Chains A and B, each alone.
Chain A
């Protein structure tokens, strides 16, 4: 009798514990349910902030000015360091570019600028073709198109045929970029420069080049950048041989509305056709310019907000 009671009580306890386990739904279950919901409704997450700015140094990145924002960009390249103390290590001369860039939408940006190097006006158009993303749409890389037109407005020397058309240079670029991690992004930029007028018959109007570059984030607001532009050789071309491949290293410092970019580069020009095709400085021979870009963003247009 007692034994039976005992048995039954044990049974009872066993059963009860079985049932009561239903009541103790732990927090983990709730989290698991949320995980499940997330899996059921996958979102596409676009990678942001692969670079601090629309330029790495000279090369465009895949970043664009935000929709409705206007970016005022001041770029300087000083003279070469090999001028020595007399030239104050190049600081006595400066080439300057002033530019305004505007985000028409999240995918399209336009810009205008003027470069004191060869008194050049430039216009640019930049748009996303692919955006790196994870989640529902998985895209390993970003791909951005950059097109620029440059107008050289230097006065024509005697005997030069400087019609308006002859002053134009076009560049087309595809920027392929991947943000590998929070701290490291890398890009490739196949480029095509078309010059409407070149000095001699041997110089080709078209120049092809491959830019490559990357950034390493040092802190949340600073990064180290480097870039190199390889030009596909043109044989017997003085214009080609007199110039070099562009190589630049620098730092980005971001302070909210501003981005400061400080760098060393062998290019004086700050637009595509210039630094790709007309880089005069030679790193091995002191032809290095100190330079900086400063940008300030203004919000011009806010989207409707409910």
Chain B
């Protein structure tokens, strides 16, 4: 009798094991990501593109981590790019902007549809962290998933200084667009 009971438990254990091993972690990485920022200023608009954003989302735990190399922002003028890296972002000291946290809301990367979610976490730019809730959209179309988001960044939130003797006035807030495909990571 006891042996039966033990066997029964062992069987249950096996079932557990098979179930749990079938639910391995699902990690998706960013592919073909585009980050673009725009800032409207009286003298001239300032904008830049970045195609080097890296990131990963774990659909099991809903944890995510994004990383944007600051030096990869491309401006229409190399002089602007130089000033952006040298004077404002201090890219040597703070090479990456990062955003880490959890995705809140329901989504299913296997089912076509548009899912409104909120990315909740710490946005770190210029070495300074800010807790943010950034509404984003996960779009699944013909089985292909992508994520997109638009949000504002206040320069003072991240201690980005604008020198008072600047010739060009720069807007205090910049608008960031991000768009990326999601690819299952094997």
The answer to whether A4 and B6 have CB atoms under 8 Å apart is yes
Within 8 A of A (CB), among B54-92: 54-56, 58, 60-61, 63-65, 67, 69, 71-72, 75-83, 85-87, 90, 92
Interface centre among B17, B54, B77, B85 (most CB of A within 10 A): B77
How far does the alpha carbon of A306 sit from the alpha carbon of B49 in the complex, in Å?
Answer: 8
How far does the alpha carbon of A30 sit from the alpha carbon of B67 in the complex, in Å?
Answer: 11
Q: Which of the candidate stretches A12-20, A239-247, A283-291 sits at the interface with the other chain?
A: A12-20
Chain A residues with CB under 8 Å of B6's CB are 4, 8
Question: Which one, A43, A69, A220, A254, contacts B77 given CB within 8 A?
Answer: A69
Shortest C-beta distance, B84 to chain A (Å), equals 11
Flag B94-136 by CB within 8 Å of A: 1 or 0 each: 0000001000000000000000000000000000000000000
Question: Which one, B16, B64, B69, B87, contacts A221 given CB within 8 A?
Answer: B87
Chain A residues with CB under 8 Å of B49's CB are 305-306
How far does the alpha carbon of A221 sit from the alpha carbon of B163 in the complex, in Å?
Answer: 10
Q: Which chain A residue lies CB-closest to B71? A: A45
The answer to whether B64 and A30 have CB atoms under 8 Å apart is yes
Q: Which A residues have a C-beta under 8 Å from some C-beta of B?
A: 1, 4-5, 8, 11-12, 15-16, 19-20, 22-27, 29-31, 33-34, 37-38, 43, 45, 48-49, 66-69, 103, 106, 182, 220-221, 254-258, 297, 299, 302-306
Q: Which B residues have a C-beta under 8 Å from some C-beta of A?
A: 2, 5-6, 9, 12-13, 16-17, 20-21, 23-25, 27, 29, 47, 49, 52, 54-56, 58, 60-61, 63-65, 67, 69, 71-72, 75-83, 85-87, 90, 92-93, 100, 163, 165-168, 185
- Which 8 pairs between the two chains have the least Cβ-Cβ distance? A66-B78, A19-B20, A302-B76, A30-B65, A305-B76, A66-B79, A257-B167, A8-B9
Query: Could you write out 25 A-B pairs with CB less than 8 Å apart?
Result: A5-B5, A11-B13, A12-B13, A15-B13, A19-B16, A25-B63, A30-B27, A30-B58, A33-B29, A37-B29, A37-B54, A43-B69, A48-B82, A66-B77, A66-B78, A68-B78, A68-B79, A220-B90, A255-B165, A255-B167, A256-B168, A299-B79, A299-B80, A303-B78, A305-B49
